[in-house]
Structure 1
């Protein structure tokens, strides 16, 4: 049986169990929520997340493991699908009774931090009650808002360029590689289109993909956001649209009609899976799902540009309610879910790759799906190549993403020039961000 925590970094299980009573009876000098009171007796924590039945089954098993070690702690579990999740969470927050522990993503972390809903975890990290030393630096950093740790990654993910290995073998063409510059990538994609006589485009047109735009900006030392406004200019946005206008002219990408099929991000409609393009700009952990949709073998590399433009992104976070009556216990549960090997083995890769690298190594050894093994190997190989994480997006990010799709499609179809599309996007996005989304 592997150790519960990394020996050089984690608390030993016996120490953790003994320390819990001390944590419950001690006071925090800088805690946002009410303090645990040992005289209350049994502790029941509410926990809420989105996901399917498999996620629910695995999460409940992990929580049962925690309760088996800490019998005084039990859980009131609630979960649902993604649709309507934030509406329900927002209603609970408005009523002053959010769950003690809940799942959140980077679309809403900044908003919930600024509204004072989530517990500030900074002191817990500083005093090692919440251990983030086993996470890639950019992954722990991506849980910070205004320099304060407001959530912890439940798992890791990063953008991945998914490509058709089998097609490239048939065409006797090289595979895309890490670190390709964008001009080089477009030239490569044009060769693929030409080699298939236009039947398969070399690449998806990612001009509507906020991930691709963000990493393109970061490869030039800029960011998608700077506070509550865009972190780049109209001229930058025009160059972005020009890049993909020229790629369309060179037939590196398919027509606007074909591209529009995939702009929503629906995995089943991605062109690398439907056979209409040799590459798609996706999340790396979507490789297994895409692989199920095609007989061809797929591979994954980074998006074009400098690898350091990418960072270890939280696929989702665990966050605690600021007003929880049991903040120290909630923090200990987060610490357990992120750092405990047995918990990590139970949770597997359902939310993404384990945030803790040592836990991940144990989980990787148990993987049987070849596509997931490839995804895990890719993510792990990138750990030392990731750049620093940006600040999580500001409130209004979801609207900016939707706006980008709308404006990019106007450029893709020729209804607007690059400059017109860029002007509309920058103006409307900044106005939305200034208004708080």
Structure 2
């Protein structure tokens, strides 16, 4: 399916109609292009922050483009092929390494070393997660953490304990089976996370492994077999719903998550999705860590700001990035729209102004988890997006009984290696 791109162009004070051209007027004025994905609220806030920058630096104006996430990377790839990428653009860890390898992203290492790009208030792991090959190549626009969202109201009605940080997967499955029984089979205890790459990655890290080792996979066929068998056992004990129900949520769309459709008491998500998920149900939702040792988790970038290697105004672009992530006024404007501020001081100030109870819970969860975080791995290599899709395909083949865990693991590992080799 090829959804229509939701492309919106802004014209406002300090912002002009959109092209990807980078221009310098004869009077020394600089015009920078900026490109990101997101909704209208993100656009409104980002535009406001950029206007604030222009008010302090009248010589700098912005041409901005934004659109929905669907089709964003196709458009960015088209721009890259033409050598016409925006000076400043949003990217995530699915594609960061690929754009570094393609020499599209500006190396920010020297700016970080000189202090022109100040990462001193970033959690160490978050600054590290913007590095590829030891070089700083992107800056987290916000921070996020995987979280297991659960239906607190349902558990209260059933008189059951809430899930806790540090519970093992075996403990989760036993607890989930009890939820299914106590609900009379109306609600399964947990979503089946066998297709969730985040869950697989964190599960591997608790065993001293990684999803990737450099440009290679960091797991074996035996590891994936055990992962698929774990969830096969969960389905057999009725800890999870049927494969047909599970499949509805494997794509990750918030409105289809089983915790809001009441088909499961938990869903695996990003912690900052708690507020959005809450919109779809009247039951009270809460968030806890994914099962396993929380040291397997790390502070992740919800998305990054990156600069185009071909920009004619590298110093100015870096100054804009520094402003967006470190300026208190910019931080107050941007709030939590992209996630929690990467700057610890700004995050604390923003947190004090929050009125949304679910976002307060998210912030409290992140703060609690930060005490346990382990070191950050390198961002995923080129091919990560393909491997995410392959995991869903092969996990579903086991869920529906079309393949055994071992056969699906064999195929997944073979195809994952091929994806990284291309």
TM-score by length of 1: 0.90
Alignment of 1:355 onto 2:342 = yes
1:111 aligned residue: 98
2:16 aligned residue: none
1:61 aligned residue: 48
What SS class does the counterpart of residue 63 from structure 2 fall into? strand
Aligned match for 1:102, one of 89, 111, 123: 89
1:21 aligned residue: none
Aligned match for 1:317, one of 304, 319, 336: 304
Deviation at 1:362, TM superposition (A): 1.2
Alignment of 1:126 onto 2:113 = yes
How many Å separate the matches in 2 of 1:292 and 1:88?
31
1:25 aligned residue: none
Mapping 1:79-98, distance limit 5 Å: 79-98=66-85
2:32 aligned residue: 45
What SS class does the counterpart of residue 366 from structure 1 fall into? coil
Deviation at 1:384, TM superposition (A): 2.4
Aligned match for 1:306, one of 293, 300, 303: 293
Deviation at 1:38, TM superposition (A): 11
Q: Cα deviation per residue 1:91-142 (whole Å; 9 max; x = unaligned)?
A: 2112122111100111110000111111100110011110111111111111
2:195 aligned residue: 208
1:387 aligned residue: 374
Q: Cα deviation per residue 1:315-349 (whole Å; 9 max; x = unaligned)?
A: 11000011111111111100000011110111111
How many Å separate the matches in 2 of 1:38 and 1:118?
25
How many Å separate the matches in 2 of 1:144 and 1:40?
37
Alignment of 1:403 onto 2:403 = no
CA contact (8 A) 2:278 2:285 kept: yes
1:294 aligned residue: 281
How many Å separate the matches in 1 of 2:347 and 2:223?
38
Query: What stretches of structure 2 of length at least 5 have no aligned partner?
Result: 1-22
How many Å separate the matches in 2 of 1:295 and 1:117?
45
Alignment of 1:152 onto 2:139 = yes
Alignment of 1:377 onto 2:364 = yes
**Runs of 4+ in structure 1 displaced over 3 angstroms?**
36-40
Aligned match for 1:181, one of 168, 173, 178: 168
Alignment of 1:421 onto 2:417 = no
2:330 aligned residue: 343
How many Å separate the matches in 2 of 1:384 and 1:204?
27
RMSD: 1.4
Aligned match for 1:368, one of 355, 358, 378: 355
1:73 aligned residue: 60
Query: What stretches of structure 1 of length at least 5 have no aligned partner?
Result: 1-35
CA contact (8 A) 2:24 2:30 kept: no
- Larger CA deviation: 374-383 vs 418-427: 374-383
How many Å separate the matches in 2 of 1:39 and 1:381?
53
Aligned length: 400
- Larger CA deviation: 99-108 vs 72-81: 72-81
CA contact (8 A) 2:88 2:305 kept: yes
1:269 aligned residue: 256
TM-score by length of 2: 0.93
Deviation at 1:394, TM superposition (A): 1.1
Deviation at 1:228, TM superposition (A): 2.3
1:7 aligned residue: none
1:5 aligned residue: none
1:16 aligned residue: none
2:181 aligned residue: 194
What SS class does the counterpart of residue 118 from structure 1 fall into? coil
1:166 aligned residue: 153
Deviation at 1:377, TM superposition (A): 1.3
How many Å separate the matches in 2 of 1:346 and 1:375?
19
Deviation at 1:227, TM superposition (A): 2.1
1:285 aligned residue: 272
2:232 aligned residue: 245
